[in-house]
Amino acid sequence: MSVDSEYLRLEGIPLRPRVATALYHIVKEALINVEKQAQACHVSILLGRDASRVGLTVEDDGPGFGGRYVPD
């Protein structure tokens, strides 16, 4: 699996340690889920922010499950 990442407007405005830790764990869990469930070959991570908000997007090229609920 290959991973591509992009970081937008992160310079000059430090993240609070609590926020940075939360983002780390969210990305870690997302990558674990992609590896276990998504049958993906590629993952993209986009992290951006402005003065008051942080945005995080994790996308993969896996087939998905067609919008249906799939029980464990």
pLDDT in tens, 22-60: 999 999 999 999 999 888 999 999 999 887 889 999 999
Is residue 68 included in any domain, yes or no?
Answer: no
pLDDT level of residue 66 (50, 70, 90 thresholds): low
Locate 49 and state its tokens. 């922010």
Answer for the pair 44, 5: CB distance below 8 angstroms, yes or no.
yes
What's the structural domain count of the chain? 1
User: Would you say residue 13 lies in a domain?
Assistant: yes
What's the rounded Cα separation, in Å, for the pair 51 and 32?
A: 30
* 72 inside domain: no
For residue 45, is it within any domain? yes
pTM equals 0.78
Let me know if residue 67 belongs to a domain.
no
Instruction: Let me know if residue 70 belongs to a domain.
Output: no
Residue at 71 is within a domain: no
Does residue 12 form part of some domain?
Answer: yes
**What range defines the domain where residue 19 resides?**
2-60
